[in-house]
């Protein structure tokens, strides 16, 4: 491994100043952005990359690269400057000059998928450090499966005061310490500045003591003393615990009148201050002009990484687990999953069990987990309620990274971000559970799953007042609608065991869209007892029961209310009313169907929607001549059957609503 012995600090000073210059000039050109953090952390980042990082910009997805996460995402120019200097082929100087402009990769905050070398989207403070915990966990788990010849890398994070103040950071550091994630190194930009002024306006936490209490290795250094920083990173790498390095820095380092103040945090320095900064740093070059020898110094890092990757490729070629390694880091074997799920559905349709969809989900997962070797389950301390652990799964622990089930503890937000990190790292297909009512606790990270197009699966059980006695704190009412409001998120609410299997097949095969499965606590009859090859849920909604003659009304329902709609249709038939029943397990997939299919399913007749939740999100399903049977406020604490009657979500209510519409 590279050592720091032969590195000239003079060169590193200039390398760091190149980050500073690009950052202040790009922010000035954009007339917006955050120069302070990149200028303050330029020395730390330079030492990290120059002496420790092993990455190959010509193979940005190389599985065994070190991961770097800029958790303080507002300091995005640090990432763009470094990636430009390293020579990533999609980060030319034009990208830097057009920081924050439409059509360029240099977005306001680093966005995964926009440019190479961005390991995760950051900006919402606290997400990066927690996502990095997921990456560091995945590294150890992958290492346990394939050994150090193929998996042997570090996850480095730069986090600011903001990241450490966010609540999610505590979930992250507690979990990482408990798991003993020794390959995780967090460099805290300890500059005591946030937006409103000094960080100590709003915090008095002894961060070193907090991290130490969570089982971390903790050091503090002057973040502008490169040898001290290097020694600390060296020690961090050698310690079996996750490491915090508190780097005392000056925000906006180099700007003579503004450094050390919140004025540098999130505004251009201004032409005059920039001119003075150039003088102070001894940086004589024009904006966006980088001397050849500075590029050379940075690109030596890339060359070193390329050599390391070539050596790794040779090791992979001769490794007996090559095929398995590549399969686990590739996309899910959708054909195998489809075959297994189709056989399972056929069996279920024949047996037609009445089970809660959370139980159905467990039955499905037995097959999913047997079919996909790299699925990793978990729950935020609700394993027995979420039914997420299947037979043969073993818990992951600091002594057993070979496990495949994660006890995330009571850390829903952390769980969601950690799953993002595992999925981004590669090698694993994570799913994790909690109660649907606590989806809001995960929301910040679910939003990043959706934005990054990371297809993790959220198992959200106890999906309505149907959970009964736990009462309104635990009864989701607005959650399904609010999740449906999120772009690029598939929200499934399956009606029975067959739809649950269909939902899982779609969720686990997807390569770009995360899924939330909303599952019932209460038992639900099998409404799909006639087997068909087709995965009907893939079209989002479908006619479950057509009216024998021309439709008078279409009843549209999801999840537990499909049973009610079927009963209502039968009652209406007794009165000579022609009612069709549409099951709509996934509104998003339905919206993606062609207009002809949607019109055929929804029909011309008046429509009644039924869902034990608020009406919002039903607009496109219902149209004008329609009614909705659902919730209008919070639930209550009582047995489930009583609650459905109390809130008027019954087959009888559906019948009445239909009658009213058609007379």
Ligand X SMILES: Cc1ncc(C[n+]2csc(CCOP(=O)(O)OP(=O)(O)O)c2C)c(N)n1
Q: Binding residues for ligand X, per CB under 6 A?
A: 34, 36-37, 72, 74, 123-125, 160-163, 166, 189, 191, 193-195, 199, 251, 265
The Cα angle at residue 171 between residues 162 and 479, in degrees rounded to 5: 95
570 is catalytic: no
Six token digits for residue 173: 């550091």
DSSP conformational letter for 112: B
Residue (386 or 449) nearer to ligand X, CB:
449
Least separation in angstroms between residue 110's CB and ligand X is 12
Cα gap 132→67, rounded to integer Å: 8
**Sign, Cα dihedral of 336, 341, 342, 346:** positive
Cα gap 80→117, rounded to integer Å: 9
SS3 545: strand
Q: What's phi and psi for 371, nearest 5 deg? A: -90, -35
Cα gap 111→453, rounded to integer Å: 11
Six token digits for residue 32: 């917006």
Cα gap 290→302, rounded to integer Å: 17
Residue (36 or 377) nearer to ligand X, CB:
36
Least separation in angstroms between residue 196's CB and ligand X is 8
Residue (72 or 501) nearer to ligand X, CB:
72
- Kind of pairing, strands 490-492 and 355-356? unpaired
The Cα angle at residue 213 between residues 210 and 217, in degrees rounded to 5: 90
Six token digits for residue 360: 């159905």
Least separation in angstroms between residue 217's CB and ligand X is 22
Least separation in angstroms between residue 273's CB and ligand X is 17
Residue (161 or 499) nearer to ligand X, CB:
161
Least separation in angstroms between residue 70's CB and ligand X is 11
Evaluate whether 39 touches 81 at the Cβ level (below 8 Å). Answer: no
Least separation in angstroms between residue 190's CB and ligand X is 9
Q: Catalytic residue among 12, 111, 273, 412, which?
A: 412
Least separation in angstroms between residue 126's CB and ligand X is 6
Q: Which of 186, 80, 84, 76 is nearest to 123 (CA)?
A: 76
Residue (142 or 190) nearer to ligand X, CB:
190
Q: Which of 340, 342, 339 is nearest to 498 (CA)?
A: 342
Residue (194 or 361) nearer to ligand X, CB:
194
**Residue whose C-beta lies closest to ligand X:** 160
Residue (37 or 518) nearer to ligand X, CB:
37
- Kind of pairing, strands 355-356 and 523-524? antiparallel
Residues serving a catalytic function are: 412
């Amino acid at each position: 491994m590279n050592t720091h012995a032969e590195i000239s600090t003079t060169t590193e000073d200039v390398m760091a100043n190149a980050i500073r210059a690009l950052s202040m000039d790009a922010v000035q050109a954009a007339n917006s952005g955050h120069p302070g953090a990149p200028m303050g952390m330029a020395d730390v980042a330079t030492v990290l990359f120059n002496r420790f990082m092993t990455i190959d910009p010509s193979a940005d997805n190389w599985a065994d690269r070190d991961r770097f996460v800029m958790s303080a995402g507002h300091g995005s120019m640090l990432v763009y400057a470094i990636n430009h200097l390293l020579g990533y082929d999609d980060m030319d100087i034009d990208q830097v000059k057009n920081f924050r402009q439409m059509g360029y990769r240099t977005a306001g905050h680093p966005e995964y998928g926009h440019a190479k070398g961005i390991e995760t989207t950051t900006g919402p403070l606290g997400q990066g450090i927690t996502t990095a915990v997921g990456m560091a966990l995945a590294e150890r788990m992958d290492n346990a499966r394939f050994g150090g010849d193929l998996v042997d890398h570090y996850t480095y994070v730069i986090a600011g005061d903001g990241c450490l103040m966010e609540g999610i950071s505590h979930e992250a550091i507690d979990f990482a310490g408990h798991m003993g994630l020794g390959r995780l190194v967090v460099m805290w930009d300890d500059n005591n500045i946030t937006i409103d002024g000094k960080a100590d306006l709003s915090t008095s936490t002894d961060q070193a003591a907090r991290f130490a209490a969570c089982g971390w290795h903790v050091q503090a250094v002057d973040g502008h003393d490169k040898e001290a920083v290097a020694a600390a990173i060296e020690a961090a790498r050698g310690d079996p615990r996750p490491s915090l390095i508190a780097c005392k820095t000056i925000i906006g380092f180099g700007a003579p009148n503004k450094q050390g103040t919140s004025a540098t945090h999130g505004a251009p320095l201004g032409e005059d201050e920039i001119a003075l900064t150039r003088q102070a740093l001894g940086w004589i070059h024009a904006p966006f002009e980088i001397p050849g020898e500075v590029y050379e110094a940075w690109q030596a890092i890339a060359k070193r990484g390329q050599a390391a990757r070539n050596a790794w490729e040779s090791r992979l070629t001769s490794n007996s687990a090559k095929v398995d390694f590549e399969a686990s880091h590739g996309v899910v074997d959708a054909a195998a999953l489809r075959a297994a799920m189709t056989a399972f559905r056929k069996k279920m349709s024949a047996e037609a069990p009445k089970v809660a969809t959370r139980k159905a989900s467990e039955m499905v997962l037995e097959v999913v987990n047997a079919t996909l070797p790299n699925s990793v389950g978990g729950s935020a301390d609700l394993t027995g309620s979420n039914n997420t652990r299947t037979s043969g799964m073993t818990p992951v622990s600091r002594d057993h990274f070979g496990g495949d089930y994660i006890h995330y503890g009571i850390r829903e937000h952390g769980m969601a971000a950690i799953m993002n990190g595992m999925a981004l790292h590669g090698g694993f297909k994570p799913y994790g559970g909690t109660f649907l009512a606590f989806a809001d606790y995960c929301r910040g990270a679910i939003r990043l799953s959706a934005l990054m197009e990371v297809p993790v699966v959220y198992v959200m059980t106890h999906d309505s007042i149907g959970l009964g006695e736990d009462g309104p704190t635990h009864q989701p009412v607005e959650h399904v609608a609010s999740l449906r409001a999120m772009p690029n998120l598939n929200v499934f609410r399956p009606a029975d065991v067959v739809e649950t299997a269909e939902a899982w097949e779609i969720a686990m095969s997807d390569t770009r869209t995360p899924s939330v499965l909303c599952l019932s606590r209460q038992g639900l009859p099998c409404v799909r007892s006639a087997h068909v090859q087709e995965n009907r849920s893939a079209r989002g909604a479908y006619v479950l029961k057509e009216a024998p003659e021309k439709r008078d009304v279409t009843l549209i329902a999801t999840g537990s209310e499909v049973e009610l709609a079927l009963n209502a249709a039968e009652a209406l038939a007794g009165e000579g009313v022609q009612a069709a029943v549409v099951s709509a397990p996934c509104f998003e997939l339905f919206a993606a169907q062609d207009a002809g299919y949607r019109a055929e399913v929804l029909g011309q007749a008046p429509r009644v929607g039924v869902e034990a939740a608020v009406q919002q999100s039903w607009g496109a399903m219902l149209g004008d001549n329609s009614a909705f049977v659902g919730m209008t406020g919070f639930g209550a604490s009582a047995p489930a059957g009583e609650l459905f009657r109390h809130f008027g979500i019954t087959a009888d209510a559906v019948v009445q609503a239909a009658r009213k519409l058609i007379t």
